[in-house]
Chains A and B, each alone.
Chain A
C-alpha cells in the first residue's frame, strides 16, 4: 500500500470552476499535511498546510483534513489557466520527513 495516494489525473476543469484535489494517507499517526504546486520544469512551491481537522482557507485555496478518514483535500475556487500544474500532497513524519504522493495534474481550460 502506497503511503500517500493521489489520483494522477489529469483533472480538467473549465475556467472559473472549483477544482477538487484529493489525497489519502496510510500512517494514522501523521500530524501535518502539505499541498505543493509544481509547474513543469520548476520546483515544488508550498501553497497550503493544515494540521487540524476541518477546513483552512487562504484566498482561493481551501485545504480540508479528516484524520479519522485519513483524507486531505485541496479546493481551488475560481480556477484560472495559471493554476494548471501538478499538485503534490505531502504528509509529514519523523524528523520532518515529507512523504509525497505521485501528484495530480490539473488542467484549467479557458
Chain B
C-alpha cells in the first residue's frame, strides 16, 4: 500500500551518462513534484506537474527533463550527469496545486555521480 514510490532507490553512475528516475503515486493526487536534497541536507523544489501539465520549473539546468505520462507518474531524466548532480532526489505528491494541500514524499533516490 505504498503511497509514493520511486525507483531506483540507489543510482551510481559515471560522469557524462544519462539516467532516469521514476515516481508513481497511488493516492489519486493531481499534483506531483521533484525535489533535490543536497549534501548539506537542504531540500529544494525542482519541478511540479498538475494533471500532466508543468506548473513549476525552478532554475534547473536543462539537462534535467521531467515527464509526466499521466497524473500518477512523474519521471526525471538527467542528461550528461555531472559530479554536482550527486544528491538525494525526492518525488512528492499532493491532492491539488493550491497552497492548502499537504505534500507527501517518496522514499528518495540517492544518486552518486563518480
Contact A96 B98 (CB under 8 A): yes
Q: Which of A93, A98, A102 contacts B103 (CB 8 A)?
A: A98
Query: Are A102 and B100 in touch, CB under 8 angstroms?
Result: no
Q: Does B66 contact A (CB under 8 A)?
A: no
- Residues of A within 8 Å of B, CB-based: how many? 25
Within A38-67, which residues are at the interface with B (CB < 8 Å)?
Answer: 38, 42-46, 49, 51
A86 to B43, CA, bound (A): 12
The complex places the Cα of A92 from the Cα of B40 at a distance, in Å, of 22
B10 to chain A, nearest CB (A): 11
Question: Which B residues are in CB contact (< 8 Å) with A94?
Answer: 99
Q: Evaluate contact between A102 and B48: CB separation under 8 angstroms.
A: no
Nearest-neighbour CB distance to chain A for B46, whole angstroms, equals 10
Chain A positions within 8 Å of B96 at CB level: 96
Asked if A32 and B100 make an inter-chain contact with CB atoms under 8 angstroms apart, the answer reads: yes
Is B18 close to A, CB under 8 A?
Answer: no
Q: Are A95 and B90 in contact (CB under 8 A)?
A: no
Q: A36–B90 Cα gap in the complex (Å)?
A: 14
Q: Would you call A34 an interface residue if the criterion is a C-beta within 8 Å of the partner chain's C-beta atoms?
A: yes
CA distance A49 to B104 in the complex (A): 12
CA distance A103 to B43 in the complex (A): 9
Given A93-B99, A95-B55, A97-B48: A43 touches B90 (CB 8 Å cut-off): yes
Contact string against A for B residues 92-106, beta-carbon threshold 8 Å, 1 for contact and 0 otherwise? 001011111111111
| Min distance, Cβ A84 to any Cβ of chain B, angstroms | 15
Q: Give chain A residues whose Cβ lies under 8 Å from the Cβ of B43.
A: 44, 88, 100
A102 touches B105 (CB 8 A): no
Q: Chain A's nearest CB lies how many Å from the CB of B112?
A: 14
Apart from A46-B104, A103-B41, 4 more pairs, CB < 8 Å: A42-B108, A44-B43, A96-B31, A96-B103
Binding site for B on A (CB under 8 A): 31-32, 34, 36, 38, 42-46, 49, 51, 86, 88, 92-100, 102-103
